[in-house]
Amino acid sequence: MTQRQIDEKLAREFYYKKDYEKARDIYKNLYDTYQQTGYFNQYADCLVMTGDYEAAEKAYKAFLKKNPQNWKSHVDMAYVYSQQGDNPKAVKYLNKVIKEVPDTRNAITEVTNLLRARNFNDVAISLFDRGAKNPNVNYNFYLEKAYTYNSMLDFENATECYLQYLKEKPDQYEMVKNRLRVMMMYDLNGNVSDVIRMALLRKTQEEPENEEFSSLLMWYSLQEQDYDLALMQLKALDRRGKGDYERDILYVAQIAGDNRQYDIAIEAYDYILEKSGEGVFYVQATVGFIKNSYAKAEAEGNRDKAFYENLSKKINDAFDKIGYTSDMMPLVLVQSDILAFELGRYDDAKALLNRVLELGFLPKTNAELKMKLADIYLLTDEVWEATLLYSQVEKSMKNEPIAH
């Protein structure tokens, strides 16, 4: 190992142990001997780390006389000014320096990275803006600006830049969505979510034909459990005819219903039925529409007999069209509830359940039907029949929650 290698190793060890004074002396000797920029950078950094700002300023000035386009040293010089408590002087110095930065994407990227590393984010933004305006650069720096604004906690401008980038590069939809998701993950007080919401609403109003903005607003709405807004966006997308969004609308309907937002679920299922009639999603939409109509009525304590008579008729019409298939079993249970508990037609409810049980469905489906039938038997004081059915379910489904 040469003496130079020994000195390098020793200087590194001192530096990583934060013994900056010893590291400083070795790096200065190495720089004086070999005149390499890397040695100077480490030497000057040691001066800064020890708080010897006057010596650091003097060293940078001397170095920059020989290397006027060493952008790192210019930024580090400004950092020395800021560490001395003179941030205006640092910014003034940098604003003068960046005028000399070549109007190329690579040069602007290099210098802005250096500026961001020293937390001169405002200056970096101004350099990005200058480059974006220059036709010779031919690059908008939207993504880089978004990152910079994020580090400044300027989420409004960060969101705007992400959306401008998405408009420019629609194929980067997933990346932009993930960036917004990360912003929302660290949103402790809801401010970021509000910013994103307002930006997306504005963009979709300004550019209603932009599918990426509309899709992003729909995605955002689902993240925030704003199913009304999600449905509105999906219906708008579907009506434009540029894609098939019925499956997505059904998804929103399902999760809205699961979250007891019955009006939204009903609206979504109704949209599918009105649009597609007896299409591929007819059964699913019919079952969903009726189930949520019933659930809404029960949640609201609706005891209007006429309402339940009408709903019962709709269910019978659905049975006539579709039959007693496995997909229709939820409506069998709803119909039996309506007949027994709302209309007092106990015999009709029992007859329906017994008729469907004779069709021979899967054990779990049969167990659900038997449990419902047993409940109705209890209501009509037919305890023996109810007990028999309960015991059958317990025996056949002993390892399932329904049996307990």
Chain centroid to CA 171: 17
pLDDT at residue number 53: 95
Decide if pLDDT at 401 tops 70. no
Q: What is the residue extent of each domain of the chain?
A: 303-404
pLDDT at residue number 21: 94
Q: What is the three-class DSSP state of 226?
A: coil
pLDDT at residue number 398: 66
Q: For 312-352, how does the pLDDT look when each residue is reduced to its tens digit (9 = 90+)?
A: 999 999 999 999 999 999 999 999 999 999 999 999 999 99
Burial 263-284, CB ≥16 within 10 A → b, else e: ebbbbbbbbbbeeeeeeebbbb
Class of domain 303-404: mainly alpha
Share of the chain above pLDDT 70, in %: 98
Average pLDDT over residues 50-60: 95
Indicate the pLDDT class of residue 399, thresholds 50, 70 and 90.
Answer: low
Long-range contacts of 135-140 (CB under 8 A, 24+ apart): 136/103, 136/104, 137/103, 137/104, 137/105, 137/108, 138/105, 139/105, 140/164, 140/165, 140/168
Amino acid letter for position 400: E
- What the block records as the tokens of 244 is 């098939």
CA distance 20 to 26: 10
Q: For 193-227, how does the pLDDT look when each residue is reduced to its tens digit (9 = 90+)?
A: 999 999 999 999 999 989 999 999 999 999 999 99
Decide if pLDDT at 243 tops 80. no
Average pLDDT over residues 237-257: 89
CA distances from 313 to 240, 318, 338 (A): 35, 9, 11
pLDDT at residue number 327: 96
Q: What is the three-class DSSP state of 2?
A: coil
Indicate the pLDDT class of residue 186, thresholds 50, 70 and 90.
Answer: confident
Indicate the pLDDT class of residue 107, thresholds 50, 70 and 90.
Answer: very high
| Residues 6+ positions from 113 with CB-CB distance below 8 Å | none
Indicate the pLDDT class of residue 187, thresholds 50, 70 and 90.
Answer: confident
* Contact yes or no for 213/236 (Cβ under 8 A): no
Decide if pLDDT at 270 tops 60. yes
CA distance 160 to 214: 15
pLDDT at residue number 227: 96
Average pLDDT over residues 174-188: 93
* Contact yes or no for 332/354 (Cβ under 8 A): no
Indicate the pLDDT class of residue 242, thresholds 50, 70 and 90.
Answer: low
Average pLDDT over residues 134-142: 96
Indicate the pLDDT class of residue 192, thresholds 50, 70 and 90.
Answer: very high
Average pLDDT, the chain: 94
Decide if pLDDT at 44 tops 60. yes
Q: Which of 286, 280, 200, 260 is nearest to 236 (CA)?
A: 200
How many CA atoms within 13 Å lie on the side-chain side of 357?
19
pLDDT at residue number 402: 52
| Residues 6+ positions from 359 with CB-CB distance below 8 Å | 324
pLDDT at residue number 291: 98
CA distance 253 to 260: 10
Average pLDDT over residues 273-284: 91
* Contact yes or no for 333/370 (Cβ under 8 A): no
Instruction: Give the torsion sign (CA, 189, 193, 196, 197).
Output: negative
- Residue 6 or residue 105, greater confidence: 105
* Contact yes or no for 287/331 (Cβ under 8 A): yes
Q: For 285-302, how does the pLDDT look when each residue is reduced to its tens digit (9 = 90+)?
A: 999 999 999 999 999 999
pLDDT at residue number 360: 86
pTM to 2 decimal places: 0.83
CA angle 143, 147, 153 (to 5 degrees): 140
**Residue 182 class from Cβ within 10 Å (0-12 exposed, 13-18 middle, 19+ buried)?**
exposed
Q: Which of 319, 329, 312, 328 is nearest to 366 (CA)?
A: 329
pLDDT at residue number 48: 94
